[in-house]
Chain A
């Protein structure tokens, strides 16, 4: 029965993902509130912990509106495309060494290909709405995605050169073997991928397609209720996908920090301790909640964390050759993977609430005149380093550092020359407008 496990995993992902996305939204609102000297959602549940569920119920119960002049079929189908592609992309990602739906030998290629299809959902949705704002948002999105896929792809190529395989599992294993996460071997590549992935997921400061202050809500302007929620789900799933790719490629996937250094094995205690700490906080805060329901809920959250801590600690406490001990890699791997994905998504939020938004032409200029050349140079730099290492038998570290330095020099050159090409006013040559039938 080779299909039972993958199908089970797939069901788990499809069932849990909306919940996870909802809670990422909550975390985002809380992070935003923290940065903006306020509290964020506090009403529904203790510290707003039930807010995502309340939001989901509200969106489900909303009236289903399709604008009169919209193309009904496309309008109906577009959000589905977005969600489906985003979810399918998750299939090939290894959440820990054990939890993976499909191990493909072209895993990364598959993820990139499928997640790029998501743009159809946005473009079709914007077009089907038959509204100017939506159309502008959709067109921006298409242009943006095409531009930044290029540099993201080239950044990935850099890491692939180091790994020598397209299989997601193989990439992590390569990092385990070399004992260096690729973020240290190819820092510029990681940086390029970080920027490009923010742009790809249409997040601030690159949230052109839905720039609220300009296009109201971009391609989603005419959407409401559950269809809108689907777009939202797709956006957050995409965030998870790009964060997972970055984790797999650059941050060592499911590997613990210093995974092969045996005297640092005490780091394995960190995950259960962390969960126990969160549980302790919940129990400490529970009596201070104003309403009985909130007290109970807070205590329940604490219990859940205790359970998680136990799950994390069990394989470590179990006898050496029992089944439990053998599941340690899977459970702890999943923890570290999700932890890194969370950290990556936190960076997304951090940037979002710190930076103003790029203008569209600036975004394009940044993409094509800076990131794309830099990512190509990055591939060359890594190539040079690898050639020195493998062909001329240089030690790996100096060879790769030489490549990085080459890339950085090129980056500095690009930055210095890029300034000169800025044209603040597009089309300075004022068009003579001749009145027709005047």
Chain B
């Protein structure tokens, strides 16, 4: 009788007992097996008709204990595991981890490695955003953009494959730099992709941006004000669409981002439509960064001097990067052995997902799907 569901924990939620629901309210379990919860997210919705009056996310269906695994692996051994968190943007995960361990070691990747890292990470950002755009449009009912997006994403995956042999979970970088030298035509491939890509983004825009139905489905949906976004620690495009100009690539530059010109697109209203526009513009900016980076890739070694056995001095370090989905942070505590004492990962998807309840209240079931899509969550990262 007294099973309590905490609807909307945190964001001014209230406790409601399921047993005393009014006749006009139903509890709808969305997921974990549902076509548009992007994996195994389960959302308990309290509905008044089709209107959402409360919600609760149930997560953990994909929990693999990544953080705990880290405590039993050496620093190098753990690197491939982070690829499996946000598997849509594995390269970014790897960059974050490698840079954090480098910071812990006091080492630094050589300039050539940093530039190549930047190129691959930006390509990964484009790939991740493309996948988001396709699935988001699919959730809202536009079937076709998905296939165009996957077509372009395929080009990027081919570049990854040529570079390191893997397409999805790439394990592209190594602590201290790169494992592999760039293949001969990396610049050429990147340039060819970038040349074509601007036109392709325009194509997506022509399909959606001014489409009456698309605008109707996204404008004013899932509004997140700047204050609320900051209060909840939301980062990435979701935060920027609310009008906050915060991008770690600019504010705390890492890799080689300080060398390149690019702007941070922001939105005004913080609704689903703005988030869509912001991500589209981010793809264009990423393309710009790639084009600048391939202009001048410095020569030199690709792996800094970090030694074969990594034994960082005791201490702790936090380092975060701007992953496609937001701030991806690693907090590593070292006890001076070859294995980390504790690794804590701040996944952007999890933090962004916390805003879901606030964003969907008062909307209809159909909007829940749109909002889950616009948050761009990957459950592998939420549950780790």
Given known A-B contacts A132-B26, A425-B220, A425-B362, A360 and B140 have beta carbons under 8 A apart: no
**Is A358 located at the chain interface by the 8 A CB criterion?**
yes
For B45, the closest partner residue in chain A by CB is: A132
Bound-complex Cα distance A438 to B16 (A): 8
Most buried by B among A32, A136, A214, A422: A214
**Is A290 located at the chain interface by the 8 A CB criterion?**
no
For A422, the closest partner residue in chain B by CB is: B216
Interface residues of A in 344-367 (CB under 8 A from B): 352-362
Interface residues of B in 345-367 (CB under 8 A from A): 361-367
A364 to chain B, nearest CB (A): 11
A215 to chain B, nearest CB (A): 7
Whether the Cβ atoms of A353 and B54 lie closer than 8 Å is no
**Is B369 located at the chain interface by the 8 A CB criterion?**
yes
A30 to chain B, nearest CB (A): 14
Instruction: Choose from B50, B53, B140 the contact partner of A431 (Cβ within 8 Å).
Output: B53
State the majority secondary structure of interface residues on B: mixed
Whether the Cβ atoms of A205 and B213 lie closer than 8 Å is yes
Given known A-B contacts A213-B369, A356-B211, A426-B363, A433 and B16 have beta carbons under 8 A apart: yes
Segment with Cβ contacts to B, from A33-41, A147-155, A307-315: A33-41
Interface residues of A in 410-434 (CB under 8 A from B): 422, 424-428, 430-431, 433-434
**Is A278 located at the chain interface by the 8 A CB criterion?**
no
Given known A-B contacts A37-B151, A214-B36, A424 and B144 have beta carbons under 8 A apart: no
Q: Which residues of B contact A362 (CB under 8 A)?
A: 213, 216-217
**Is B17 located at the chain interface by the 8 A CB criterion?**
yes
Whether the Cβ atoms of B362 and A427 lie closer than 8 Å is yes
**Is B164 located at the chain interface by the 8 A CB criterion?**
no
Whether the Cβ atoms of A356 and B364 lie closer than 8 Å is no
Whether the Cβ atoms of A436 and B20 lie closer than 8 Å is yes
Most buried by A among B53, B139, B147, B366: B366
**Is B317 located at the chain interface by the 8 A CB criterion?**
no
Bound-complex Cα distance A435 to B54 (A): 12
Whether the Cβ atoms of B362 and A435 lie closer than 8 Å is no
**Is B28 located at the chain interface by the 8 A CB criterion?**
yes
For A424, the closest partner residue in chain B by CB is: B220
Given known A-B contacts A36-B143, A433-B16, A437-B20, A355 and B364 have beta carbons under 8 A apart: no
Q: Which residues of A contact B256 (CB under 8 A)?
A: none
Bound-complex Cα distance A428 to B223 (A): 12
In the complex, how many residues of chain B place their beta carbon closer than 8 angstroms to a beta carbon of chain A? 48
**Is B263 located at the chain interface by the 8 A CB criterion?**
no
Whether the Cβ atoms of B216 and A358 lie closer than 8 Å is yes
B211 to chain A, nearest CB (A): 7
Bound-complex Cα distance A427 to B53 (A): 10
B236 to chain A, nearest CB (A): 23
B340 to chain A, nearest CB (A): 40
Bound-complex Cα distance A357 to B217 (A): 8
Bound-complex Cα distance A352 to B14 (A): 41
**Is A338 located at the chain interface by the 8 A CB criterion?**
no
Bound-complex Cα distance A434 to B17 (A): 11
Bound-complex Cα distance A32 to B144 (A): 8
Q: Which residues of A contact B36 (CB under 8 A)?
A: 212-214
**Is A386 located at the chain interface by the 8 A CB criterion?**
no
Q: Which residues of A contact B151 (CB under 8 A)?
A: 37
Whether the Cβ atoms of A211 and B366 lie closer than 8 Å is yes
Q: Which residues of B contact A358 (CB under 8 A)?
A: 141, 213, 216-217
Whether the Cβ atoms of A356 and B137 lie closer than 8 Å is yes
State the majority secondary structure of interface residues on A: loop
Instruction: Choose from A132, A356, A357, A436 the contact partner of B208 (Cβ within 8 Å).
Output: A356
Bound-complex Cα distance A366 to B142 (A): 19
Whether the Cβ atoms of B20 and A426 lie closer than 8 Å is no
**Is B221 located at the chain interface by the 8 A CB criterion?**
yes
Interface residues of A in 293-334 (CB under 8 A from B): none
Instruction: Choose from A36, A214, A433 the contact partner of B53 (Cβ within 8 Å).
Output: A433
Bound-complex Cα distance A437 to B16 (A): 9
For B22, the closest partner residue in chain A by CB is: A436
Whether the Cβ atoms of B53 and A213 lie closer than 8 Å is no
Q: Which residues of A contact B17 (CB under 8 A)?
A: 436-437
B361 to chain A, nearest CB (A): 7
Instruction: Choose from B147, B368, B369 the contact partner of A36 (Cβ within 8 Å).
Output: B147
Bound-complex Cα distance A182 to B200 (A): 41
Instruction: Choose from A211, A359, A431 the contact partner of B367 (Cβ within 8 Å).
Output: A359
**Is A273 located at the chain interface by the 8 A CB criterion?**
no
**Is B35 located at the chain interface by the 8 A CB criterion?**
yes
Q: Which residues of B contact A35 (CB under 8 A)?
A: 144
For B214, the closest partner residue in chain A by CB is: A356
Q: Which residues of B contact A435 (CB under 8 A)?
A: 14-16
Instruction: Choose from B143, B208, B362 the contact partner of A352 (Cβ within 8 Å).
Output: B143
Instruction: Choose from A37, A132, A356, A437 the contact partner of B147 (Cβ within 8 Å).
Output: A37
Q: Which residues of B contact A425 (CB under 8 A)?
A: 220, 223, 362-363
Given known A-B contacts A214-B36, A433-B14, A436-B20, A359 and B364 have beta carbons under 8 A apart: yes
Whether the Cβ atoms of A215 and B211 lie closer than 8 Å is no
**Is A249 located at the chain interface by the 8 A CB criterion?**
no
Given known A-B contacts A213-B140, A356-B141, A359-B367, A427 and B51 have beta carbons under 8 A apart: yes
Q: Which residues of A contact B14 (CB under 8 A)?
A: 433-435
Whether the Cβ atoms of B147 and A355 lie closer than 8 Å is no
Whether the Cβ atoms of A428 and B362 lie closer than 8 Å is yes
**Is B219 located at the chain interface by the 8 A CB criterion?**
yes
B205 to chain A, nearest CB (A): 14
**Is A384 located at the chain interface by the 8 A CB criterion?**
no
For B215, the closest partner residue in chain A by CB is: A356
Bound-complex Cα distance A38 to B154 (A): 14
Q: Which residues of B contact A286 (CB under 8 A)?
A: none
Bound-complex Cα distance A435 to B5 (A): 12
Bound-complex Cα distance A84 to B365 (A): 32
Bound-complex Cα distance A247 to B54 (A): 47
A385 to chain B, nearest CB (A): 30
**Is B34 located at the chain interface by the 8 A CB criterion?**
yes
Whether the Cβ atoms of B16 and A436 lie closer than 8 Å is yes
Whether the Cβ atoms of B211 and A355 lie closer than 8 Å is yes
**Is A374 located at the chain interface by the 8 A CB criterion?**
no
Bound-complex Cα distance A427 to B367 (A): 14
B316 to chain A, nearest CB (A): 41
Instruction: Choose from A355, A356, A426 the contact partner of B51 (Cβ within 8 Å).
Output: A426
Instruction: Choose from B16, B54, B213, B221 the contact partner of A356 (Cβ within 8 Å).
Output: B213
Most buried by A among B17, B35, B146: B35
Q: Which residues of B contact A214 (CB under 8 A)?
A: 36, 365-366, 368-369
CB pairs A–B below 8 angstroms (28 shown): A35-B144, A36-B146, A36-B147, A37-B147, A133-B28, A136-B28, A136-B50, A212-B36, A214-B369, A353-B144, A354-B142, A354-B144, A355-B141, A356-B137, A356-B141, A357-B213, A359-B366, A360-B366, A422-B216, A424-B221, A425-B220, A425-B362, A425-B363, A426-B362, A426-B364, A428-B362, A430-B361, A436-B16
Q: Considering the complex of A and B, which 6 residue pairs feature the smallest CB-CB distances, nearest first? A: A357-B141, A424-B220, A36-B147, A213-B36, A356-B142, A356-B141
**B binding-site residues for A, Cβ under 8 Å:** 14-17, 20, 26, 28-29, 34-36, 48, 50-51, 53-54, 137-144, 146-148, 151, 207-208, 211, 213-214, 216-217, 219-221, 223, 361-369
Task: Please name 19 further chain A to chain B contacts, defined as beta carbons within 8 Å, in addition to the given A358-B217, A359-B367, A362-B213, sorted by A numbering.
Answer: A32-B143, A36-B144, A36-B147, A204-B143, A211-B141, A213-B35, A213-B141, A356-B141, A356-B213, A357-B217, A360-B366, A361-B364, A362-B217, A425-B223, A425-B362, A430-B362, A435-B15, A436-B16, A436-B17
